[in-house]
Structure 1
């Protein structure tokens, strides 16, 4: 699915990008955002709270160009969209990944929710849906949920110290809020982009009807 999206080469020189000579360019932040309206909407419409939260976060991420930047063939490119890869827990508590298109690719939120549910039901036996070594040059963001833990912060595994793929993890729904951890590369992402992401995520979690 990742090959479906258009890409354009940006007027940026790889050798002039910041923080490329640091031990790691990765950094993280965790913010608690209100999600009661999304929780209520999911229950009222008979949809998955996990699915709708993912829809909100993936839409927020896609609306900020820098999260769609990658380095490919020694050029900086921008993808028109990025997909999510997310682990799904199996009955034996092992995990398998699925790849999910953003809700903007569908005609309705219910159509997108059914598409995700079908993905879960027909998951294959491969641990990874996208080869880890390719994720930094493909339009991918990593999304996962730890619904049992109301964490204050967290770290994420890195395939490479200069990894560009954004990683988002959210936690337990408590008192109407969820903690959301965002890990990104300082090569392209600065405090302003973190601010934009959390503002957009909060807006969609508060108004899930805006997703379509």
Structure 2
């Protein structure tokens, strides 16, 4: 099985596990299979108080068995050597909320044995972008930094004046990966503290 197929299998199995959790939480949801909506950042449609919300699930599947305190939000990446805008500020995405799936644990040594536990944090996309703009980290500023970083020898943790690196976040440049993504690495506790996110599972 190729790495791509393995990733798809992981996502499929995790989706089944998450659906069981959403049912326990009494969410009125529909899982989206069509690629057109998925490409616009929609994995789920949740109906709450008569309103539809578009949900994009973001899972730390590369860190099974670990509880990381941070989550990375994609600013940009390379595809076939060409620069592409990441999903955090992509205007083509219609996402209302990110469901950040962290602390993912499996029952056995193999993922096919099923999942045992995870945490889910819901992030309001518009509130997050607005907060970042208010502290001087809107797309215009971040895109300038993006260009500077990609033409320098900086990598991994890159401090930002607007954020406390060990409490709030920083930039993270994964130069070792083929796509060389530049991410905004943010502490989950800080997202909740500033009122743009809330933990929905476990309650």
Higher helix fraction: Structure 1 or Structure 2? Answer: 1
TM-score clears 0.5: no
Higher RCO, 1 or 2 (CA under 8 Å, sep at least 6)? 1
Query: TM-score, normalization: structure 1?
Result: 0.29
Query: TM-score, normalization: structure 2?
Result: 0.30
Higher strand fraction: Structure 1 or Structure 2? Answer: 2
